[in-house]
Each structure stands twice: as C-alpha cells, then as structure tokens.
Amino acid sequence: MQSPLSLLELNQLIQQSLDTNLAPSYWIIAEIGEFRDSPRGHAYLELVEKSDKSIIAKIRANIWSYTYRGIASRFSSITGQNLKAGMKVMAQVSVQFHEVYGLSVNIKDIDPNFTLGEKARKRQETIDLLTKEGLMDLNKQFLLPKVPQKVAIISSANAAGYGDFINQVAHNRNDYKVHGKLYQATMQGDQAVQSLIMAIEQVEADLIKENFDLMVIIRGGGAQLDLDCFDDYQLAKTIACTSLPVVTGIGHERDESIADMVAHTKMKTPTAVAEFILSGFRNYEELLETYFKQIERHVAYQLQKEDRKISNLEHFLKSIAQNEIQRGKDMTRMLEQRITSQSQHILKLKYKELLHLDSGIKKSVANILNNEQSRLNTLNKDLQRLDPYTFLKKGFTRTEIKGKPINNLTLKDGDELITYTLSKKIKSTVNSIEENEQ
Amino acid sequence: MSNKDNFSYDKSISRIEEIVSQLEKDDKSIDELSSLVKEASTLVKACKSKLRMTEEDILKAFGDEEQ
C-alpha cells in the first residue's frame, strides 16, 4: 500500500501534473455563467457550457484588473456591450490550480469578434424562430389607420427622442392634432425588455378605453450600448402580437433591430416617426382634396350634362311649340279662307236675293206708281169730263134756278132762270113748259 | 215747304175722289163746280208731282245703294 499523502502534497502533485501536461494557455469557448466586478478592479466569473439548458461543464475564472481594463474597453468598443452573464465568449485562458482555492482559469484575453459573430448568430436564430412562428410579418398585416390621431407612445419621458417626437408633432405646419399618451418604459439596459413588454401590455389593457390607432416605440440619444434589448425574442414576439400597428423609431446608429423588423413600419428616428404620422394626415388631406376635386369635376360635368339636357328640351319644346303655332296658323288661315269663301258665297246669295228684292221693289214701286198714275189719269179725265167748261166750250149751256141745276127741279111758269154759255150769263123767265119728246 | 211736308197723297186722292163723286152728282152751282174742279186739278198736279218725286227718290236711293 502506498504511503498516504498529505492534502497539500496531493494538491502540489495535481499542480505539478497540470503544469507538466497542459500548455501555458488555451483558447476556449464558453458562456459567462456569472460575472462580478471586485472593488479592486478584478473580475470574477463562472464559465459554463450548456447542452439543452443543463450545465455540462463549469469552471471559475478571473481577470486581473490590469488585463481586465484593456479587455473590457476593447470588447465594448467592438461589440457595443459590456461583458456580462449569459454572453458567449472566446477567451485565452491559462489553467491554474491553487492549493487552497482549487482549480480556476485566468483569462488573458477575450476575442470580441467571436462574441460579435455569436451575437449575429443568436440574432439570426431569433429571426429564424420568429419567421418560423409566423411572427415576422404579423404586425405588418394591419392596415395603417388613414389618420392616426390617437397614438400610444412607448418611450421614456426623459429621453431626448421623446422630446423630439412631441416637438415635431406639436409644431407641425398644418396644425394637425395628434393625441399621444406616454407609456413609460426603460429603453436600455438589462431592465429594458421587461419594462418594454409591461408597457406594451399596459397599452393593450387600455386599448378599448383609449381607442388607440397606432403604437410607437421611440428612443433617441443615449449610447448605442445596451440596445440588445431590441433584439430580444420576447420583446419581438410581444410587438408582433399587439393589436395595433407598431411604428419604431429606436435610433439611427445601427442598421436594424429585430424590434424594427417585426414592427409594422420602421423609422430611423423619433422625428422621422412623427413625420411619418403627420404624412398620414397629409396624405389623407390630399386624398380628400383629390376627392373634392373629383366631386367638383363630376358635379360640373353633371351640371353641364343637365344643362345640355335642359337646352335640348328647350329646343325640343320650342320646335314643338313652333310646329303647333304653325299648325294653328295654317288652321286659322284655312278657316279664314273657308269663312271668306263661305261668307262670299252667302254674300253672293244675299246679293242675288237683294237684287231680286230690289227689282221686285222697283217693279212693285213702278206698278204702284203706274197704278196711281193711271188712277190719277182716270180721275183727271173724270174731272175734265165733269168740268162745266168742257161742255160750255162745246156750245152746250147750263141753266140754274137759284143756283140749282134745273134738271133736278120741278119747273113752273114764271121761274127765273140763269143760263151760262162759255162767255155769257143769260137771265130769262119760264113762259111755258113742254115735254121734250126727243 | 211746310205745305209740301204736310202733303198727304192718300188724303189728296180721297179728296179728288170725293170731288169726282160730287161732280158726278151734278147738284152744285157752276161756281162751286168750278172751284171744286180747280181744287181737284191742283191736287192731281200735286199728286203727280208727288209720284214723280217718289219715283226719283226711290231710284236715287237704290242707285246710292248700288254704288
């Protein structure tokens, strides 16, 4: 049986074996399991290797302060972040064994380019997962509101970017009114992801009450450090699954974060987000103006059409009226001719009648006059016949007694007679009376 | 004129006829006869003239109408 060794002897043996068999340094790939700074400026870490989230290897590590200062500044300038737990690194280490403190590695160098590549790989993994889950374009399926008037703003009240956004929106040329409500969130660092997710969930909770049209996530200013939160899977998933279209304005230093990619629209800066929202207003106003112009054109066209219709009707009516008038004129002319010819006919008849009457009257008058004439002539002849001078002229005489013709008297002797001749008046006395036998 | 205006053909004719019948009775003195005959012949003249005038008037009136 081998004689027993003291613990120190064993530990020294381990140390010698390690020194003999191991190279002075190795490049290893490991994940930082724990990380803490010491007051003296050293860094104490735990390096782990995982397989399906369970640790399959683990070792303590340290970086002495002098080395740490150089490594840390180079690392953050290249990767944009500080060394921290959860990060995969490629480190140059030398294996140490201390009799009291046991096995550890001393980190001499860390290759930031590995971490950068690792970060890109992780990022790609996140993108692939989101794509596989159909979350990459989910938010893009929303139609942007025509006029986003109520906007949920996820930002930090102290961020310069938030001020830029508010200022740009408030002082727009067209005096558009955008109502924004701020949901405070930590926009960088370790707490950012959780804080952002909570803020988004709060917006979701207020959605019905506030009636939001749009969500914006904005930050600006600040270091480019710690923007990794916007590459986080959970945050990306939360953004993709919101009930509102999301517009990001996270910062312009880097190309594109995963948050930008899952958002509906990505703008570089908060000012650009404000301008984007305002451009929605402007587009809508221009659209309205276009509609107004179209309506105006249409109305003008319709008016013109109606005008033409009316004037056609007017012409039509005019021509109908003229036709009617012409017909009326023709009719009256015809009636006039008929009346004229009829009246001429009647006149002719009446004239004939009149002529007939005239000649009748003339005849009657002539008859009457003739009758009267012959009556007068008869009377005149009677008068001439009865005129005493007519028979006196012929040598006859007329004898009277006391003014009475004797032929009607009874004569006696001694009666005094007066006998008239044409030129003489003879007085005589009756001597004898005898009968005339002749 | 007034005599002419008052002249009545019908009355004149009646008077003439009355005179003729009186003359035919032959119971008047020669003086009376004479004056009766004068009156009658005056009336006859007047009546003739009236007839002539009437004819003229009528012809004239119808002549005017024809124009």
- What pLDDT digit, counting tens, does each position of A382-402 carry? 888 888 888 888 888 888 888
Tokens of A309: 């219709």
Q: Which one of A365, A379, A404 has the shortest CB-CB distance to B17? A: A379
Contact call for A375 and B13, based on CB within 8 A: yes
Evaluate whether A230 touches A193 at the Cβ level (below 8 Å). Answer: no
Please state, in angstroms and rounded to a whole number, the distance separating the CA atoms of residues B58 and B6.
Answer: 20
Please state, in angstroms and rounded to a whole number, the distance separating the CA atoms of residues A250 and A229.
Answer: 11
Angle, CA A43 vertex, CA A41 and CA A47 arms, to 5°: 175
**What mean pLDDT is predicted for residues A328-343?**
87
User: Which chain B positions have a beta carbon within 8 Å of A388's beta carbon?
Assistant: 30, 33-34, 37
Contact call for A398 and B30, based on CB within 8 A: yes
The whole-number pLDDT of residue B67 equals 43
The whole-number pLDDT of residue A226 equals 63
Q: How many domains does chain B have?
A: 1
Helix H or strand E segment including A419: strand A416-420
Matching fold, domains A7-114 and A139-283: no
Does residue A436 have a pLDDT over 90? no
The whole-number pLDDT of residue A255 equals 65
Evaluate whether A250 touches A227 at the Cβ level (below 8 Å). Answer: yes
The domain covering A7-114 belongs, at the CATH homologous superfamily level, to Nucleic acid-binding proteins (2.40.50.140)
**What mean pLDDT is predicted for residues B9-23?**
86
The whole-number pLDDT of residue A186 equals 87
pLDDT interval class at A92 (50, 70, 90): very high
Domain boundaries, chain A: 7-114, 139-283, 390-429
Q: A138 — phi, psi (to 5°)?
A: -60, -50
Average pLDDT, chain A: 88
Contact call for A388 and B30, based on CB within 8 A: yes
pLDDT interval class at B2 (50, 70, 90): very low
More confident residue, A244 or A256: A244
User: Which chain B positions have a beta carbon within 8 Å of A366's beta carbon?
Assistant: 55
* Interface residue ranges in chain A relative to chain B, Cβ cutoff 8 Å: 358, 361-362, 365-366, 369, 372-373, 375-376, 379-380, 382-383, 386-389, 398, 400, 403-405, 407-408, 420
Q: Distances from the Cα of A136 to the Cαs of A100, A153, A219, A239, A264, in angstroms?
A: 53, 22, 22, 10, 10
The domain of B30 spans: 2-66
Contact call for B62 and A362, based on CB within 8 A: yes
In CATH, what number does A139-283 get? 3.40.50.280
Q: For residue B18, what is the DSSP state?
A: H
